[in-house]
Chain A
Amino acid sequence: MLEVIVSTMPFLLEGLWVTFEISMITIFFGSLIGVLVGMLRTLNYAVINVPLGAYIHALRGTPFLIHLYFVYFMLPATGISWLQLEAFPAAVIALSLYTSTYVAEIVRGAIQAVPRGQGEAARSTGMTALQSMWYVVLPQALKLMIPPMGGVYVIIIKGTSIVSVIGIAELVRAGEHATQRHPRELMLIYGMTALMYFAYCYPVLRLARWAETKYGGVRLPS
């Protein structure tokens, strides 16, 4: 048993590193898109709000597996050359879009949770709409966004397990390879994989809980 652990550990750690890479890239791009969508949604113009609402519902209403297959199999079928994506960019794009819907709802909720009077007071001192957003509303909203963002980060980490299906050598894939070499040690290998996810996610969840008791926060939409 010890021998199996020693021989598979390097591969699993490599997989964990890929999982880490994907989740870091995704949280960056997912947050970028999400903040943009969420802020645009607070403007309350129907022209912007309806398509963005449809975007969020479309992604919320379908499994992530569908998004992944959409980006990896259906976009290349259009025949357009720059949509012929490799597995890694396809995974990151699909996961970022999925993440953005959560971030957008958090950003919108947090901005709307800042009392209206704050923005109005800023405007009455002669700030422009952008200035009042940047200097007054956003800093207050940011505090409310931190705790649920921890939950989103965990959702991303767990989401990366699914991209193993298009052949990315992340943690689950590494585990599957290891089980092919040690077919009798399924429980041990999948158990180790699960423990690695736990070691990665649990501190994030604890941190999010701690941040929630410290700052309060908007609830993560389920």
Chain B
Amino acid sequence: MDWILDFYNYRVVAQYLPDFARGLGATAWISLVALAISLSVGTLVAIMRMSTRQLLWRPAAAYVQAIRSTPLLIQIYLIYFTVPALPLLGRRLDELEGGIIALGLNAGAYMSEIIRAGIESISRGQVEGAQSVGMTYLQRMRYVVMPQAIARVAPTLLGQTAVLIKDSSLVSFIGVFELFGAGLLVYNERLMPNEGYLTVATCYLAIYAFMLWVTGIAQRRLGGTATA
């Protein structure tokens, strides 16, 4: 059994189990909040992008292109290091807030492209039908277009969420403690790379497997039936 202990000392991992659990919880929490931000921003930007008014679609397009053409790391640095004290908050963003906002804004650009594809896939007749029964723009979006669009792109949105969870490891660069940070902790305190990083990798793989499973369910439940 000695060779296993040489390669992967599970006793050390057991010792650090509370830290890994805390890291996993932090990753889940960060991803969840960032996901909420990205979906709200994504929906808004998608709708703006499809407007015919220049004042609306140009900023939306610029936002998407800017995010897609720069690395997430730089976006995190820019938001964490350079956003000044906010008037409502009365202080500067801390690591966690900066990291979450950067992640959310980053994912929001990708989500907006997916949501836009979903909205554009809804046939014209649906909108015209809603118009003919006297629905306002907001009502049409809320009751007719959005439910179908989201259902259609739900698997893709879930795939992007998996990417978001992986990307959340980058907030460890500005000192946020999350799953990857737990691996760093083991490496820094014990100089044991395998025990730290293999454990973290396994956790990420488990999350990924879970996301694949959920995506599969979404595909079966939503993807097949909602065709107009």
Chain A residues with a Cβ under 8 A of chain B? 57-58, 60-66, 69-70, 73-74, 77, 154, 157-162, 164-165, 172, 175, 179, 186-187, 190-191, 193-194, 197-198, 201-202, 205, 221-222
B193 touches A197 (CB 8 A): no
Contacting residue for A154 out of B68, B159, B166, B209, CB 8 A: B68
Residues of B within 8 A of A172 (CB): 71, 73-74, 77
Q: List 4 other contacts, CB 8 Å, given A190-B82, A201-B68, A202-B69.
A: A66-B169, A66-B200, A154-B69, A161-B73
Residues of A within 8 A of B71 (CB): 157-162, 172, 197
Chain B residues with a Cβ under 8 A of chain A? 65-66, 68-75, 77-78, 81-82, 110, 156, 159-160, 163, 166-167, 169-170, 172-173, 180, 183, 187, 193-194, 197-198, 200-201, 204-205, 207-209
* Min CB–CB distance B53 → chain A (angstroms): 23
Residues of A within 8 A of B207 (CB): 61
Given contacts A66-B197, A158-B72, A222-B156, contact A58 B205 (CB under 8 A): yes
Given contacts A194-B70, A197-B70, contact A61 B193 (CB under 8 A): no
19 of the cross-chain contacts (CB-CB < 8 Å) are: A57-B208, A61-B209, A66-B197, A69-B197, A70-B201, A73-B187, A74-B194, A77-B193, A157-B71, A158-B70, A158-B71, A158-B72, A161-B72, A172-B73, A187-B78, A187-B82, A190-B74, A201-B68, A222-B160
Given contacts A63-B180, A161-B74, contact A198 B193 (CB under 8 A): no
Bound together, the chains give a CA A65 to CA B198 distance in angstroms of 12
User: Across the two chains, which residue of chain A brings its CB closest to B79?
Assistant: A190
* Min CB–CB distance B209 → chain A (angstroms): 7
A65 touches B65 (CB 8 A): no
User: Across the two chains, which residue of chain B brings its CB closest to A165?
Assistant: B173
Residues of B within 8 A of A194 (CB): 70, 74-75, 78
Contacting residue for B166 out of A58, A62, A197, A221, CB 8 A: A62
Given contacts A205-B65, A222-B160, contact A62 B82 (CB under 8 A): no
B193 touches A74 (CB 8 A): yes
Contacting residue for B193 out of A69, A175, A222, CB 8 A: A69
Bound together, the chains give a CA A160 to CA B200 distance in angstroms of 22
* Min CB–CB distance A26 → chain B (angstroms): 14
Residues of B within 8 A of A222 (CB): 110, 156, 159-160, 163
Which of B69, B72, B160, B204 has the most A CB atoms < 10 Å from its CB? B69
Which of A62, A190, A194, A201 has the most B CB atoms < 10 Å from its CB? A62
Residues of B within 8 A of A157 (CB): 71
* Min CB–CB distance B114 → chain A (angstroms): 8
Residues of B within 8 A of A162 (CB): 71, 73, 170
Bound together, the chains give a CA A193 to CA B69 distance in angstroms of 12
Residues of A within 8 A of B209 (CB): 61
Given contacts A69-B193, A77-B193, A193-B74, contact A61 B205 (CB under 8 A): yes
Bound together, the chains give a CA A70 to CA B193 distance in angstroms of 8
* Min CB–CB distance B77 → chain A (angstroms): 5
Residues of B within 8 A of A64 (CB): 166
B156 touches A65 (CB 8 A): no
Residues of A within 8 A of B160 (CB): 222
* Min CB–CB distance B144 → chain A (angstroms): 27
Given contacts A57-B208, A74-B194, A222-B159, contact A62 B69 (CB under 8 A): no
B68 touches A61 (CB 8 A): no
Bound together, the chains give a CA A63 to CA B204 distance in angstroms of 8
Bound together, the chains give a CA A161 to CA B76 distance in angstroms of 12
Bound together, the chains give a CA A205 to CA B160 distance in angstroms of 19
Given contacts A74-B194, A190-B74, contact A66 B156 (CB under 8 A): no
Going nearest first, the 9 A-B pairs with the smallest beta carbon separation are: A61-B208, A161-B71, A187-B82, A201-B69, A158-B71, A63-B169, A73-B193, A63-B166, A202-B69
Bound together, the chains give a CA A65 to CA B183 distance in angstroms of 11
